[in-house]
Amino acid sequence: MNKKVVILGAGISGLTTAWLLKKKGFDVTVLEKNKEAGGAMESIVEDGYLFDRGPNSGLETVPIIKEVVNDIGLSNEMVYANEKGDKRYILRNGELHPLPMSPPAFLKTKLFSAKAKMRLFAEPFISRSNDGYYQSIAQFVKRRLGQEFLDYAINPFVAGVYAGNPEDLSVASAFPKLYELEEKYGGLIIGTVRSIRERKKRKEQSKQNAKMFSFVNGMQSLPKTIAKKLGERVVLFAEINSIVKKEKGFSVSYHNAGFDKKIECDILLSTLPAYVASTLLRNIDGNLANHLDAIYHPPVMVLYLGYKNEDIGRPLDGFGFLIPAKEKKSFLGAIWSSVLFPKRAPENTASFTLFIGGSRNAEIFKLDKEIILKTVIEEFQSIMKISVEPVYKSYRYWNKAIPQYNIGYIEHERYFDEFERNNPGIFLSGNYRGGISVGDCFKNAELVTEKIFKYSESNNGGK
């Protein structure tokens, strides 16, 4: 496999695919505009605080994650979340309630009213909707489980995963496993039981049961180490400015270290964010660019706060908490970072990661940043029973954070397939296709590696 593959973008999608293709014998080059590899994975250390400014952790949903970590020699730095982190809280009426994780806990919890609990018993008898792909997660959950479950379980959960709005997100595209439970088995309860058996056979972990991982020095260790192992195959400070489809293969122009450069290849893989890929691929297919442009990426601010342990008025016995929209707060939730993983904060202090904005509350960024920070910190301190200012504060504003798989996303997904069929040799990957999580990026890297391998093997691969 000595075909030349150029991969655009050195986020986790691009680097994992580069690693897998290199192992199969392809000649790969990864072009990345930033000075470091990682994309959304950014970890910084300041005053003894380790701040993961993008993903805080990943879920070990597919075996390929551990395989790559072992391959690159990073397994001794891989850490799993503290078991205390199993407890997740939801805010209701100003109080944090643990999310019930067992049937007895569910019956006892004050998070849901008796009426909402009774409503769950009706779930197995509810039929499918005729809306198929064109349903939001809100419509789906309201129909199957009722309004209160939507407000106090799914709404905060969606904020935690997508920084998203349940009224807009497509259940089929954003939560395909949930959608499948209804489609394939007729209901969520029966479907959960059956799919556990099937997943065991495929050696996959459900997101609920998968182990949560990070690295001693933060999530960015993973892409940085893959990049280091790939050596000269990864070109940093390489901003791509045009792509030309030739009779045979492709030509990619980029700006690197003050010079305009060009690289030719047989196979091109874009793992660029959708809004960047749209500009660079418009000359090849205008419709593709329109689909990519239509994907909404709301802004998100990630705020990291440090406090002395003695100033925190409630026990830190969990993962953190999520806030339902109904509670009308200025932020989406907080992860108790130093509880989950080691070395996140200096001795005798604790650190917290708060998320602000997302598509649920993008409007907040019309306010002055200082006002946003003051309001959020006041609200956080009231929930956590803290009455002093933080000893450490840092934030990262993501103007376009996470792609929203909104209703109608299926049209984009279908067009991505069509584009690949019409343009043999170009492949599209990245977090706007096949899932946004770190685990999904790994799963998709494996899929796209397989696609490239097959394409390259086929006699009429256009070469």
Ligand X SMILES: Cc1cc2nc3c(=O)[nH]c(=O)nc-3n(C[C@H](O)[C@H](O)[C@H](O)COP(=O)(O)OP(=O)(O)OC[C@H]3O[C@@H](n4cnc5c(N)ncnc54)[C@H](O)[C@@H]3O)c2cc1C
Chain positions contacting ligand X, by CB under 6 A: 8-14, 31-34, 39-41, 54-58, 239-240, 271-273, 276, 300, 302, 398, 401-402, 430-431, 436-438, 441
- Amino acid 252 reads V
Calpha distance 15→19 (Å, rounded)? 6
Q: Which is nearer to ligand X, 273 or 324 (CB)?
A: 273
Q: Which is nearer to ligand X, 81 or 188 (CB)?
A: 81
The minimum distance between CB 314 and ligand X, in angstroms, equals 23
Which residues pair with residue 354 across a beta bridge? 303, 334
The minimum distance between CB 16 and ligand X, in angstroms, equals 8
Q: Which is nearer to ligand X, 7 or 150 (CB)?
A: 7
The minimum distance between CB 197 and ligand X, in angstroms, equals 25
Per the CB < 8 A criterion, the answer to whether 149 and 137 are in contact is: no
The minimum distance between CB 57 and ligand X, in angstroms, equals 5
Per the CB < 8 A criterion, the answer to whether 213 and 58 are in contact is: yes
Helix (H) or strand (E) holding 88: strand 88-92
The DSSP secondary-structure symbol of 160 reads H
Q: Which is nearer to ligand X, 116 or 302 (CB)?
A: 302
Write out the E strands in 191-258: 212-215, 234-235, 238-245, 250-256
The minimum distance between CB 95 and ligand X, in angstroms, equals 25
The DSSP secondary-structure symbol of 153 reads I
Q: Which is nearer to ligand X, 8 or 99 (CB)?
A: 8
The minimum distance between CB 155 and ligand X, in angstroms, equals 18
Calpha distance 239→237 (Å, rounded)? 6
The minimum distance between CB 219 and ligand X, in angstroms, equals 8
Calpha distance 147→388 (Å, rounded)? 37
- Amino acid 76 reads N
- Name the residue among 412, 402, 421 with its Cα closest to residue 355: 402
CB neighbour class for 266 (10 Å; exposed up to 12, middle 13-18, buried from 19):
buried
The DSSP secondary-structure symbol of 100 reads P
Calpha distance 66→76 (Å, rounded)? 12
Q: Which is nearer to ligand X, 31 or 116 (CB)?
A: 31
Q: Which is nearer to ligand X, 272 or 295 (CB)?
A: 272
Write out the E strands in 317-461: 320-322, 333-335, 349-357, 392-398, 426-428
Q: Which is nearer to ligand X, 219 or 386 (CB)?
A: 219
The minimum distance between CB 231 and ligand X, in angstroms, equals 18
The minimum distance between CB 34 and ligand X, in angstroms, equals 5
Question: Which two tokens mark 354?
Answer: 């708060």
Q: Which is nearer to ligand X, 51 or 179 (CB)?
A: 51
